[in-house]
Structure formats: structure tokens, C-alpha cells
Structure 1
């Protein structure tokens, strides 16, 4: 699992200004989002690998696409 513990922003000439600050709540949300993404990705890969699962894979892709669109 990937786990984001800190965010560092060193480029002080950037348009965002010095030090990009991210709160602990936002980091937790980012971690959960990354874990969800990796889980969905592994589900997708395992389903695609199985030939008998093709129709389920297509249904999964459609459902996942609609879930993203509704957010």
C-alpha cells in the first residue's frame, strides 16, 4: 500500500508561493483515495486476466465509469 505521510514543496518561485500546506485530514483522505484506486486497479487486472470473466469485466467498467460520473 502507498501511504502519503508528508508533502514537501521546495520551489519558492512557483505560482503557489512558499510551502504548500496540507492538513492531516486531507492527507487521510488522499491515502484512502489512493488505496481505493489501487484496490479497483487490482480488481480490474484480475478480472481482465480471466477469459471467462469478460462480460463481468465490461459490467464492472460501466458501473465504475457511471460511479465516477455521478460524483
Structure 2
């Protein structure tokens, strides 16, 4: 997945939790929930060498566009 994150433009990424038993580090082995999304966003920011805030802002906009929310 980390290689995919490098290749996919941030404008094409949304954050979600569709895998209840595959939590990100540091919660591996525990049940996954939307409370883990900040960990995912931080890792995306690290991989792409951008700010956490940029990841949150952009993926939020992406999700709103995907679900046609204003």
C-alpha cells in the first residue's frame, strides 16, 4: 500500500475504514475504526513528504466530492 500511496495523486485519495480487522500501526491487532484515520493521514503525509493538514484538507474535499456533498 505504501508504494501505491507514492504513485496515486493526493487528489484521488479518500480516507475510510473498510477493514475492521486490519488496523494501522500502532494499533495492529486491534479492531479498526474511524478513530484510526489520523494515523493513516500521518503516514500518507510522511510518505508524500507533505503536511498532515494538507492530507486532511484534501482528502476531506475528495470525500465531499465523491459523495456529492456541498
Task: Give your verdict on TM over 0.5.
Answer: no
Higher share of residues assigned helix = 1
Q: What is the TM-score with the length of structure 1 in the denominator?
A: 0.31
Q: Which has the higher contact order (CA 8 A, sep 6+)?
A: 2
Q: What is the TM-score with the length of structure 2 in the denominator?
A: 0.31
